[in-house]
């Protein structure tokens, strides 16, 4: 069983993946480009473990042991002997391709290279390596310690063995997997939420209904835990604009064309909870 994991990127997603993996017994190398980013990431993990201890979901000893299994580094070479590498950096294809080019030269031939992308085709990321059959998508959901889902994405050349290794890893760290068999932009989940968000924004933008009423309709009518506009504020209007834009660019499907209102909100800095204002005020 693969027991050595490397996570590239110590942001919210990367540190979350590191946290649940260390808790499940993996030795984790968490890599980012600055010591400040690593300190923030590891501090967030420690704080999250403390919350689990306070709620009685972990013992203090378990939390301490898990934190002890996470090593931080700014040196990419440190990931060379990992069994699985999960990339969780910014959603920009050039950034991801640069990392995968470097990883391809560094890691063992039998290592699995995974990307936590939510919308970029895995085939495009895998194409810059000499081992596209060893590259797979592992799309986790935020916050990783609380969200049960992992969307596994098969690139055009991903092997059955690679997919099986990725599934075993995700299940070992407590996730339920869905498999995307064809590498379409946005996969299953980002396509579904993007289509819903785009339509919700259009309804709001054209004055059909208030943001509150659109969200209540989805919550009470469809049993959604959170309405699409509140979800957009939580995720970030900028993040969802980027995701829908990626899918639209790839698919040229009009239903994914980002509404003008989303663009103007991002231009104005009203990007949701993190800025204090989105479709709602925080």
Instruction: Read off the pLDDT of residues 35-70 as tens digits, 9 standing for 90 and up.
Output: 999 999 999 999 999 999 999 999 999 999 999 999
Reported as a single tens digit per residue, the pLDDT across 130-179 is 999 999 999 999 899 999 999 999 999 999 999 999 999 999 999 999 99
Give every CB contact of residue 103 below 8 A, 6+ residues apart in sequence: 8, 76, 79, 85, 87, 113, 129
Distance between CA 270 and CA 273 in Å, rounded? 9
**Torsion over CA: 124, 125, 131, 133 (sign):** negative
Q: Output the pLDDT for position 91.
A: 85
Taking the C-alpha atoms of residue 261 and residue 279, their distance in angstroms, rounded to an integer, is: 10
Dihedral pair phi/psi, residue 86, rounded to 5°: -110, 120
Domains present along the chain, CATH in parentheses: 4-180 (3.40.50.720), 190-274 (1.10.1040.10)
Q: Residue holding tokens 């068999």?
A: 181
Average pLDDT, the chain: 96
CB 8 within 8 A of CB 87: yes
Average pLDDT over residues 2-23: 95
Q: Supply the pLDDT for residue 2.
A: 54
* pLDDT number for residue 265: 98
* Residue pLDDT, tens place only, 91-100: 889 999 999 9
Residue 246 has what pLDDT? Answer: 87
* Average pLDDT rounded to a whole number, residues 209-229: 98
| Cα angle 190, 194, 198; round to 5 | 175
Query: Rounded to the nearest 10 degrees, how much is the dihedral formed by the CA atoms of 19, 24, 29, 33?
Result: -20
Percent of the chain with pLDDT over 70: 99
């Amino acid at each position: 069983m693969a027991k050595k994991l490397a996570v590239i990127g110590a942001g919210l997603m990367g540190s979350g993946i590191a946290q649940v993996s260390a808790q499940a017994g993996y030795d984790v190398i968490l890599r980012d480009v600055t010591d400040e980013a690593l300190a923030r990431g590891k501090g967030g993990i420690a704080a999250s473990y403390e919350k689990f201890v306070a709620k009685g979901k972990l013992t203090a000893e378990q939390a301490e042991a898990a934190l002890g299994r996470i090593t931080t580094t700014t040196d990419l070479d440190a990931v060379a002997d990992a069994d699985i590498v999960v990339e969780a950096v910014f959603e920009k294809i050039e950034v991801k391709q640069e990392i995968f080019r470097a990883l391809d030269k560094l890691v063992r031939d039998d290592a699995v290279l995974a990307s936590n992308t939510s919308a970029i085709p895995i085939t495009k990321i895998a194409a810059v390596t000499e081992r596209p059959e060893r590259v797979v998508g592992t799309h986790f959901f935020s916050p990783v310690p609380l969200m049960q889902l992992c969307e596994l994405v098969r690139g055009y050349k991903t092997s059955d063995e690679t997919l099986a290794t990725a599934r075993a890893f995700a299940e070992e760290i407590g996730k339920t997997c869905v498999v995307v068999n064809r590498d379409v932009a946005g996969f299953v989940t980002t396509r579904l939420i993007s289509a819903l968000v785009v339509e919700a924004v259009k309804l709001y933008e054209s004055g059909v209904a208030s943001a509150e009423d659109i969200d209540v309709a989805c919550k009470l009518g469809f049993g959604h835990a959170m309405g699409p506009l509140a979800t957009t504020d939580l995720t970030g209007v900028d993040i969802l604009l980027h995701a829908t834009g990626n899918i639209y660019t790839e698919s040229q499907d009009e239903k994914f064309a980002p509404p003008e209102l989303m663009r103007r909100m991002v231009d104005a800095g009203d990007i949701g909870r993190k800025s204090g204002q989105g479709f709602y005020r925080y």
